[in-house]
Structure formats: C-alpha cells, structure tokens
Copies of this chain bind each other. A is one copy, B any other.
C-alpha cells in the first residue's frame, strides 16, 4: 500500500513520545485530546488565544497556515515551525512537539481556607447494633428486626432503606453474626450497613469545582477535622478555559455534555482516591460529599445541560440544593452516600457564592460587608444580616494569565509579585517557587500595571506615555511594549507588557469595579459604609490590595478593612459537610439574596466605560489613590 492511499496518519507527540494513529485531516488539538495530552486552550480551540502552540519539523505534514495563525504567531515563531494546534490538521505522518509553555502545568493554588468555626452536626449518624437472631418463635423479617432495635434503643422512629442496600441486608447480617454498624442519613434512611463496629469512622469529602481547578477536602464528619486535601486541574479545560467555552461545548450535543460530566466525575474520583490514599482511609468510609461550584459547573456535574445559562436571560434549570446518591454520579464512595450540591443564586452566581457567604458569615453580620470572589467570573456580594445582593462580573481570564501576551497561570516560574523603581525603572520581582521567570500570573499583572502607572509609563487612559525615557520601553512589530525581564536578564524569553495587555486588564478590572459600584448604588451604600471587604478565590490571596485599588479594580476602602479569605467557597463546602443546619442556611441564602443582572442595568455601560480609566474617570471615588498618583 503506498503512502498516497492511506486514510490515516501516525502522529508522534514529543517530548512524551506518545504515538497514535488518526484519520487523515484530524485537527491536531483533537488528536492531542484523544491521546490524553492536555494543551492550553484558553479560548476552547477557537483560534483566539494563541496558547496552543506546537512545533513541527516538516510543515508540509500539516494543513496550510491559517489567517489566525498569521495573526497570533510571530514570523520568527512561524519560521521555527510553530503552529497552533487548534488551527491545523494532519496531512501526513508527523512529529509534533509540545513546548513547555503550551502544556498544562501544576498550578499554585489556595487549598487551605480559613478554619471552620462551625459546630459539628453532621447529616449522618452511626450506630453499632446487636440484632436478635431469628428463630421459629421469632420470625420477624430481617429489616423489621433492625428497625425494632433502632427504634427501641436509638429512638429512630421511621427509617427507610434503599433497594440496593436492602438486597445486601440478609447476607451482611448473617456474615457479621448479627452485629453491624448502621449509618443513618438525615435520621430517615439507612445508607450503609457495615460488619462489626465501625461507629468511630466517618469521613466526608467537600469539593469545590472551579472552572480551572477542582479541590477536595477529606474531613472527619464527626468533628470537621481536615484530614487531607488534593487539588487537580479541571480536566474539562481541554474544551475551553472559561465558562462560556465550556457551556458552548456542553451545548453541542448530548455526547459532549456527557463527556464533560465524565471528565469532572473522573477527576472527583481521582481526588477522593488520592486524599484517601494519603491518609490510609478506605473510600468506603466516605459517607457524604458536598459540592460547590459556579452554576455551570454544578449543572454539568449533574448532567444538566448548561445551554440556557449561555443564552439570555441566562436561567438555570434549578436553583435549589440537590441531594442525590453517590452511585447516581458514579462516585466511588459508599454507594448510597448523599451528595449535597449547593443551591445557587442565579445563572452566574452559583453555589460557590452561597458558600462564600456562609464562610464569611456575611448573612449574619451586623457590619455591612462585601465579598469579591475573583476568578474568570468574579462574584460580588454585598450586604449584612438584613439583606444580601449579588452580581456576577465577566472579568474574563486575564487575571489568570490568558489573553495576556506573557500571561501564565500561577505555575512555577510565574512572576507573582513585582515592583518597579521609578528611578531607572529597576524591576524587582518574585516568582513562584523562585524559579526562572516564565511569565506573569494574575497578581504579577496587577502589580506590573500599577507600577507602570505609578512610574508614569502609562497614563490614566492606559496608554504608554510618549516621554518615557526607559530602554525597557521598546517597539515590537511597531507596537510599544515595556520589557519587565529580558532574556538577557535571565528570563526564558523577554517578558513584557503590551498595549493590548493593558487594555485586557482595563476590561477585566472595569468589569469587576462596575459590578461593585452598581451593587453599592442599588443598596444606597457609600464607600465609608463598608466595614469589611473580603477578597476570595485563588487569585484573591496573592493580590496586592494597594495595587488593586491603584488600578481601580476594587472599591477604595481602607486597606485594614480588607481581609483575604482564600478559598472561601471550599471553606463553605467544608462547613456544610459537617453541619446539617448550614444547609438550611444555604437554602435560605440562595432564596433571599437579590440578584442583579448587570446586563439589564441601564447604567452598566456608562459605569463600565468610566471604570476603564486608571483608577476611574471619577477620581473622587478613589481618595487614597488620588494621594498616591
């Protein structure tokens, strides 16, 4: 058979050396996905982000260079054989090299939330019972025997047992010589029957499903003690980095929704397995799971199409909390374990926001407070004991390194802190794990922009000023850029800030600030009324609050009122894991929180445009920044 007749091609992926056969014409991005290799695709493979760079030696082995590639790749990159995996397909056998910066890497994320200040009052109860054996004088059925003991000794009035567990009852009772430990959920259903006495062991897992990362907390259900944590990249990332890409992929077909669901379920199982393994706990001792996530993530986990979340008026299928069995989601713990999925507030204000409120105590404080959970979507909640209002700002992935020329996620080598000396523009920086700098992560970007602003390199419009005398200010392809760390200074390549990058930051911070301001206006709140500003989210913990105010991203409250609460959503999930009462609180929060749909606010566009300025068109809103500049 000659080469011309073949309908397939062999692709070898380096440096892994993975080799697979594909249909001729397969898009390289799809081939990578099939081969199980993760590549960065911040835009979901739409030829926009330019992050899915690959290198091939023989360019004729791939389809012709597209317009998108010409735009997003420099001519030197193209000369070197660089292509975008989303824009080219396989014509003949090829060796495809994945450069380090295209790969999805371990990220620096916040796993520990604040301590959880909630009394343990779990939804489950375990009791060790001795059941009288049947005899010809006592022919009560197995289940009735069990019921009677539970009623007489433990006061459990009416109890049910699922059909799957009932099937096993006769054998377990006899194999354990009628001594078993019963796990009762919500005082009404037996969810597990274990041989012998296991009444001291009860674990649960709280999970926070973020668009980018998934974190699990293995906890002791009786006291809330944190036993092990594990975080993983959300594997759905191969189908787009932001929620909108994920929604659009899930809406393609039933199959694609199921694929996304399977990816998140597999990841949850891996997290459960890892945390249990670390702590030598049997996953069959995990009796409860709580889940928080944004509305789309929660919908996808439940196999509910998030399609309508992506279409105006963006309504979810359901906002109430959902209880279902672990087996119904194929989660590998006790099959009848309850999975509690948080209630949501709106299409873009999910269970994570409810959990933020619970863990910060916003719903019960007398001090007017504000929570910003910063991520691809930034949730803003404002209020106190008397009422809560929330909105969601499409801040986009700029704070996560996407859409930024030298942006990277919070991975090893990312610049996370940065300071520019106005005299001579000396750049001092700190990278994650002190590694050789590879790019800027979110906090680094904020620091860079704030410093450029302070040094007068950019103006309040975000434009590079003409008079800047620094040699760091160069022109690349005719565009002005500011080089923070050059190759000569030890970077893997010149790490710079472009005019476009600054525009991206302006868009993102304007979205967040406009959201904050509209909420404040709705509630008739002025700056001085805010007694606490909580910054939550992985990003939130590394941000410099002064710089964040300087660029006008967050309201200009006194720095001492700003509190970093880390992964507040995860903390809320951990709290609900051990407290039944908090689940009622969650329901009440989800029902009572007012939701403001920014898209339908008449003054949103004006507010957004005004917030594009650094820090704002109306400087009176940023009294502390006014003094600094």
Report chain B residues within 8 Å CB of A163: 302-303, 322, 324, 328
Establish whether residues B136 and A319, one from each chain, have CB atoms under 8 Å apart when the complex forms.
Answer: no
Residue numbers in B under 8 Å from A174 (CB-CB): 308
Tell me, in angstroms, the Cα distance from A237 to B313 when the chains sit together: 59
Complex CA gap A138/B302 in Å reads: 24
Contact partner of A313 among B139, B313, B328, B347, CB < 8 A?
A: B139
Q: How far is the CB of A490 from chain B (nearest CB, A)?
A: 51
Chain B residues with CB under 8 Å of A143's CB are: 317-320
Residues from chain B with Cβ under 8 Å of A322 in the complex: 163, 166
Partner of A346, one of B139, B316, B346: B139
CA distance A313 to B174 in the complex (A): 13
Cβ–Cβ < 8 Å partners of A319 in chain B: 140-141, 143-144
Contact of A302 among B167, B347, B600 (CB under 8 A): B167
Q: Tell me the complex Cα distance, A27–B137, Å.
A: 42
Is A119 part of the contact surface with B, judged by Cβ < 8 Å? no
Q: What mask results when residues 542 to 560 of chain A are scored 1 for a CB within 8 Å of chain B, else 0?
A: 0000000000000000000
Establish whether residues B139 and A314, one from each chain, have CB atoms under 8 Å apart when the complex forms.
yes
Report the minimum CB–CB distance from A602 to chain B (whole Å).
12
Q: Closest CB-CB distance, A365 to chain B, in whole Å? A: 27
Q: A134 near B: Cβ within 8 Å?
A: yes
Q: Mark each residue of chain A from 299 to 338: 1 if its CB lies under 8 Å from any CB of chain B, else 0.
A: 0001111011000111111111010100010000000000
Q: Is A166 a contact of B317 with CB atoms below 8 Å?
A: yes
Chain B residues contacting A314 (CB-CB under 8 Å) are 139
Contact check: which of B139, B161, B167, B597 meets A315 at CB < 8 Å? Answer: B139
The residue on B at minimum CB distance from A134 is B315
**Given B134, B136, B137, B171, which contacts A305 in the complex, CB threshold below 8 Å?**
B171
Q: How far is the CB of A291 from chain B (nearest CB, A)?
A: 13
Q: How far is A600 from B170 in the complex, measured between Cα atoms in Å?
A: 23
Q: Which of A157-184 contact B (CB under 8 A)?
A: 161, 163, 166-167, 169-171, 174
Among B138, B317, B324, which residue has its beta carbon within 8 angstroms of that of A141?
B317
A228 CB to nearest B CB, Å: 28
The oligomer's copy count stands at: 2
CA distance A320 to B147 in the complex (A): 11
Contact call A312/B167, Cβ cutoff below 8 A:
no
**Counting CB contacts under 8 A, is A620 at the interface?**
no
Residue A135 lies at the interface, judged by CB distance under 8 Å to chain B: yes
Please give the distance in Å from A280's CB to the nearest CB on chain B.
Answer: 30
**Roughly how many angstroms separate A558 CA and B155 CA in the complex, as a whole number?**
52
Q: With a CB–CB cut-off of 8 A, which chain B residues contact A134?
A: 313, 315
Residue on B nearest A325 in the bound complex, by CB: B163
Establish whether residues B166 and A135, one from each chain, have CB atoms under 8 Å apart when the complex forms.
Answer: no
Q: Which residues of B contact A303 (CB under 8 A)?
A: 163, 167
- What's the least CB distance linking A411 to chain B, in Å? 36
* A263 to B28 alpha-carbon distance, docked (Å): 49
Of all chain B residues, the one with the shortest Cβ separation from A261 is B167
Residue A112 at the B interface, CB < 8 A?
Answer: no
Q: How many residues of A contact B (CB 8 A)?
A: 44
Measured in the bound complex, the distance between the Cα atoms of B319 and A322 in whole Å is 31
| Residues in B whose Cβ lies below 8 Å from that of A167 | 302-305, 317
C-alpha spacing A338/B601, complex, angstroms = 46
- With beta carbons under 8 angstroms apart, the residue of B136, B144, B312, B347 that contacts A597 is B136
Give chain B nearest CB distance to A335 CB in angstroms: 13
Q: Which residues of B contact A222 (CB under 8 A)?
A: none
Complex Cα spacing A137 to B314, Å? 11
| CA gap between A174 and B302 in the complex, in Å | 19
Q: Pick the contact of A144: B136, B137, B138, B318 (CB < 8 A).
A: B318
Given contacts A166-B302, A166-B304, A304-B166, contact A317 B139 (CB under 8 A): no
Is residue A599 contacting chain B, with contact meaning CB distance below 8 A? yes
Residues of B within 8 A of A170 (CB): 304-305, 307-308, 317
Cβ–Cβ < 8 Å partners of A595 in chain B: 139
A142 at the interface (CB under 8 A from B): yes
Mark interface residues in A328-356 (1 if CB within 8 Å of B CB, else 0): 10000000000000001011000000000
**How far is A305 from B172 in the complex, measured between Cα atoms in Å?**
12
Closest to A591 in B: B144
Known: A304-B170, A324-B163. A315 touches B141 (CB 8 A): yes
CA–CA, A104 and B137, complex, Å: 40
| Shortest CB distance A248–B (Å) | 16
Asked if residues A347 and B169 are in contact (CB atoms below 8 Å), the reply is no
> Smallest Cβ distance from A144 to chain B, in angstroms?
6
A277 to chain B, nearest CB (A): 29
Q: Is the CB of A140 within 8 A of B315?
A: yes
Q: Smallest CB-CB separation from A320: which chain B residue?
A: B143
| Cβ of A430 to closest chain B Cβ, rounded Å | 43
Nearest-CB distance from A263 to chain B (Å)?
17
Question: CA of A313 to CA of B143 in the docked complex: distance in angstroms?
Answer: 15
* Cβ A317 vs Cβ B347 within 8 A: no
Closest 8 CB pairs of A and B: A143-B318, A141-B319, A136-B600, A141-B316, A134-B315, A136-B313, A170-B317, A142-B317
Q: Tell me the A residues contacting B by CB distance below 8 Å.
A: 134-144, 161, 163, 166-167, 169-171, 174, 302-305, 307-308, 312-320, 322, 324, 328, 344, 346-347, 595, 597, 599-600
Can you give 25 A-B contacts (C-beta < 8 A)? A134-B313, A136-B312, A136-B313, A136-B600, A138-B313, A139-B314, A139-B315, A139-B346, A139-B597, A141-B315, A141-B317, A141-B319, A141-B344, A142-B317, A143-B317, A163-B303, A163-B324, A166-B304, A167-B302, A167-B317, A169-B318, A170-B304, A170-B305, A170-B308, A171-B305
Seed contacts A139-B314, A139-B347, A166-B302; 20 additional CB < 8 Å A-B pairs: A136-B312, A136-B313, A136-B600, A137-B600, A139-B346, A140-B315, A141-B316, A142-B316, A143-B319, A143-B320, A144-B318, A144-B320, A163-B322, A163-B328, A166-B304, A166-B322, A167-B302, A170-B307, A170-B317, A171-B305
